[in-house]
Chains A and B, each alone.
Chain A
Amino acid sequence: MSQTIAEKILAAKAGLERVKPGQIVDAYPDLVMSHTATWRSVSVMKKIGAKRLYDPNRLAIVLDHISPAKTEKYAADQQTSRNFAREYGIEKFYDVDAGIAHLVLMEHGHVKPGDLIVGTDSHCTIYGALGALGSGIGYTEVASVWVTGKLWMKVPTTIKLTLNGRFAAGVSAKDLMLYLIGTLGADGCGYKSVEFYGSALPQMSVSERMTMANLAMEMGSKCVFIPPDEKTSEWLLPRLKDPASYQPVFADPEAVYEQSIDIDLAKLTPMIACPHQVENTKPVAEVMGTRIDQAFLGSCANGKYEDLVVAADILAGRKIDPRVRLIVTPGSKEIMLEAMRTGVLATLIESGALVTNPGCGACAGDGGTMADGEVSLSTANRNFVGRMGSNKSSIYLSSPATLAASALKGAIADPREFLR
């Protein structure tokens, strides 16, 4: 036996004994996620004249981008998605109040180790935080999977990343990923699966793992795995309808890896991605003092409860620079509620933050639009030209800690200066 996690999951979902890299299989996903683009898949279904779904229980729909609707067109599209969910009895339907699809589906126990999950979003890799194979597809393919239950998938080769040591204070999973993306390149893991290992993993929270699996997409990964352990079961088991369905899939000891890379977390410092490529990363020290007009704390990468706490710890009792707009968008309703109950939201608001409803928010161009010449610092995962408004604005990407410190200074700052 010598299979990687991706090979095992794809073999299982294709009903095969074993598969090898490069092989194309027909795989049957456990879950098909579609977000605000759902209406487009509905129209594809109409176009091909299909009436029946392969299995309504495998569909999950979350209206997370541009929510609530801001134009009549968006409203009509959301209505189409809503009506479709009702007509077909889609139980895993979450409306505009729920938050970002990825986080909502994991919080509600719809993602478990060994699952194959596809969806209309490139950051589906995030499901690997719980040991599931998540990968993005287009909306036409989503309609195809709705109807046929399957899709073609090429078995990827796998890269092994081993994390040892511990983060220094002020350094986090986001800094690790920015470092990796900068080192390996935006296509460093193109078409490939990534498996994380190492003595550092057992200490890393599920929230940190989500950040890692999410950002790994920005180095081209097809899918990502953090092998399930006690942290995974502790977080996930209370959320599963059927706890017996928790069946982790691990790689064989002799699994073949295309490449193995070791990283010492202790050597990392706060990192930042500079305009206009995610791979354009530098230590924060190199761009310190760069003025910012807006700071966005949110997204599926870093809009989780722990991320809000990190920022709040730095912002507590302090005021942000009056020239900065600090926009906080909790990733989900669950996260927002928790942050409300624990006072984290109050801390953020008192420091000068504007808190929005949960969802994708400014990361997907919903609010927080940038004007010509403006500079934004964001905890999201992308900084391409025009991503957050004007083509003449620029976006830097950082950890929540760096973001909070920078909001205080009105310019890019090193979070270690503000740790208590």
Chain B
Amino acid sequence: MATNWIFQGRCWKFGDNIPTDALTPTHVMFKSPQEMAAFVLETLNPEFPKQVRPGDILVAGRNFGCSSGRALATKALKATGIGAVVAEQFSRTFYRNCLEIGLPLLEATGVHALVNDGDEVRVDIKAATLENLTTGKRLQGAPPSQFLLGMLQAGGLIPLLKSGSFPGSATR
């Protein structure tokens, strides 16, 4: 599958330690990802689920996606149309769950201070760069390993499993 590694759109900025409870509150967990998308992060920014557009970029602080390891959180976030998620650091269950569904993500120290909510940003996942088009500032993040890029390229775990090619570690 050809993969688009570059995303450009409005930056939606959130803080530190955003829990999966805020992405998918318990009361919406039995809805479809499309239905859940209407509730994603609404407690922190009610405009987000209403106004997010396909390809927009979510930028967060440290420990994004902490709390429950619920895989629904990434599914619901993907269903909002968000193109990529960039954070100072992700919680490990959230990180895994993003790869599992092929939602592009990037860790970049200093990203939180580099952007304001509403800025126009461009992210290159493969090159691990984030460019703030509004301010002209640019940042280099931690390049993901070939292995993890491969998982994103495949579109996540299910396509890989369907094709019988479970990701092998030796490729790192």
Contact = CB atoms under 8 A, between A and B. Distances in A.
Given A48-B162, A187-B66, A387-B21, A24 B145 contact: yes
A146 to B, nearest CB: 11
Interface in B19-73: 19, 21-22, 25-27, 30, 43, 62-63, 66-71
B161 interface: yes
B167 interface: yes
B140 interface: no
B96 interface: yes
Interface string A339-376: 00000000000000000000000001100000000000
B100 A140 contact: yes
A321 interface: no
A150 B19 CA distance: 28
Nearest to B147: A24
Interface stretch (A108-116, A304-312, A378-386, A410-418): A378-386
Contact of B166 (A25, A148, A385): A148
A337 interface: no
A150 B30 CA distance: 28
Interface residues of B, number: 40
Given A24-B172, A50-B161, A391-B43, A152 B147 contact: yes
B93 interface: yes
B167 A48 contact: no
Interface stretch (A131-139, A237-245, A247-255, A396-404): A131-139
B92 interface: yes
Contact of B71 (A23, A50, A139, A387): A139
A47 B159 CA distance: 10
A224 B142 CA distance: 26
A121 B93 CA distance: 9
Nearest to A149: B166
B49 to A, nearest CB: 14
A14 B169 CA distance: 10
Contacts of A420: none
Contacts of A386: 21-22, 25-27, 43
Nearest to A49: B162
Contacts of B22: 384-386
Interface in B122-163: 145, 147, 156-158, 161-162
Contacts of A387: 21, 26, 67
Given A137-B96, A140-B71, A384-B19, A26 B26 contact: no
B26 A365 contact: yes
A44 B156 CA distance: 13
A164 interface: no
A275 interface: no
Contacts of A277: 17
A272 interface: no
B89 interface: yes
Contacts of B166: 144, 148, 150
A191 interface: yes
A56 interface: no
Contacts of A140: 71, 100-101, 156-158
A73 B32 CA distance: 13
A144 B157 contact: yes
Interface in A15-33: 23-26
A396 B165 CA distance: 46
Nearest to A137: B96
Contacts of A73: 30
B119 to A, nearest CB: 25
Interface in A266-321: 277, 279
B149 to A, nearest CB: 12
Contacts of B25: 386, 391
Given A121-B69, A141-B100, 18 more contacts: A23-B172, A25-B169, A26-B168, A47-B158, A50-B161, A73-B30, A122-B67, A135-B92, A137-B69, A138-B69, A141-B96, A148-B166, A187-B63, A364-B26, A385-B19, A385-B22, A386-B25, A387-B67
13 contacts: A47-B162, A135-B92, A139-B71, A140-B157, A144-B166, A152-B147, A186-B16, A186-B63, A191-B92, A220-B63, A385-B43, A386-B26, A387-B26
Closest 8 CB pairs of A and B: A138-B71, A187-B63, A122-B69, A365-B26, A136-B69, A384-B19, A384-B21, A48-B161
